[in-house]
Amino acid sequence: MDLRTFLLLLLCSRLCQGLLGPRVFARPQRALGAAGTESEVITPAVTGEVLARSLPYIQRYAGEYVVVKYGGHAMVDPSLAKQFATDMVLLQAMGIKVVIVHGGGPQIKNMLTRLDIESHYVEGLRVTDAATMEVAEMVLCGSINKGIVASIQQAGGVSVGLSGKDGSILRTRKAEKSVIDPQSGRPIPVDLGLVGEPERVDISLITKLCDQGVIPVIAPIGMDAKGNSNNVNADTAAGAIAGALEAKRLLLLTDVAGVLDKSMKLLPKLSLSDVAALVEDGTITGGMVPKLQTATDAVRNRVDAAIIMDGRVQHSALLELFTDEGVGTIISQ
């Protein structure tokens, strides 16, 4: 039995066991949470059925880029982190070109506290001064990035840790942010220091690594025209890289089920016009707005579809890519 066949059977066993339960075959709705505890016996017939069901998905994604923004609970929970690494190796072994972009806001905050470096905010937005930038780069490119690489390699894959500065992956410009003046209702520009946004993406290093069967793990640190390091929002970085790669999928792992309507029900599928309408009528507010902006920008930049999904669900990436119901909210044209 070759490696790919073995990994396909491993996928079948995970899909058939209690990680999913009977929903794999019934498919009544999109999965919203972790599966039940009862497991099914993996018979040859069940294995064959799941293989047959998986084949169209495998054919759809083989040779395509899938960019995963990794963060939130999925990154700090040891069990989920281990599963994530195994799932990424599985996808890569199937011929999918996996690219991971990770965050690390809570870890940066913890390190700033330990070093007694005070954080400054403007209207609730963190200002990244030189000291904060140094800590952010140390944490993102150091312990977090190398920890993810180590997990992937322990799962049997080959991975390389990078930052957006390596190979000029992320050339950045100063991020332009504004807040609304409560008195005039007009936007007021704010200076967030060394916070950047992608101006140009060079994918040559990423494509070379993926062509060699290597999984790039990228910290969202970019470099501006003067050589200064810039802290880039991880969602934004992932979306820009996905657009440059013309990825088949952009998976944005979050700590919520996806995009919810006003009654807190999951919206499984949205078009670009749907998103604009939901933002305008106030259904979508707060932190979900910039995530949807990232998703819609990526789709406009030739990403086939972007998914805002719950990273707390076991094997969420596999469920999204290899089941009809998926996980979370898919945004497409």
Q: What is the pLDDT of residues 91-140, one digit of tens each?
A: 999 999 999 999 999 999 999 999 999 988 776 668 899 999 999 999 99
As given in the structure block, the two tokens for residue 312 are 């707390």
pLDDT confidence of residue 47: 60
For helices 288-300 and 234-245, the axis angle rounded to 10 degrees is 10
- Beta strands 177-180; 170-174: pairing state: unpaired
Distance CA 263, CA 283 (A): 9
What pLDDT was estimated at residue 325?
81
As a whole number of angstroms, the distance between CA 104 and CA 286 comes to 20
Q: Which of 154, 22, 5 is nearest to 89 (CA)?
A: 154
Strand segments (E) across 115-220: 120-122, 125-127, 159-163, 170-174, 177-180, 187-190, 195-201, 215-219
- The whole-number pLDDT of residue 17 equals 47
Q: d(Cα 259, Cα 192) in Å, to the nearest integer?
A: 28
**8 A C-beta contact, residue 251 and residue 66:** yes
Mean pLDDT for each consecutive 10-residue tract of the chain (333 residues)? 48 47 36 41 63 81 97 90 95 95 94 93 80 97 97 97 98 89 84 95 98 98 97 97 98 95 94 94 89 96 97 91 88 95
Burial of 225 (0-12, 13-18, 19+ CB in 10 A): exposed
Going from N- to C-terminal start, the domains of the chain cover 56-332
Q: What global pTM score does this model have? A: 0.85
56-332 fold: Carbamate kinase (3.40.1160)
Kindly give the residue spans of alpha helices, DSSP state H, lying in 189-310: 204-211, 234-245, 272-280, 288-300
Task: Give phi and psi for 132, each to the nearest 5.
Answer: -65, -40
How far apart are the C-alpha atoms of 297 and 300, rounded to whole Å? 5
- Residue 72: the pLDDT is 86
Residue 327, classed as helix, strand or coil, is strand
Residue 1, CA atoms < 13 Å, CB-side half-sphere: 8
User: Can you give the length of the chain in residues?
Assistant: 333
Q: Any idea of the CA torsion for 251, 254, 257, 263, to the nearest 10 degrees?
A: -120
- Digit-coded pLDDT (tens) for 138-167: 999 999 999 999 999 999 999 999 999 999
SS3 for 246? Answer: coil
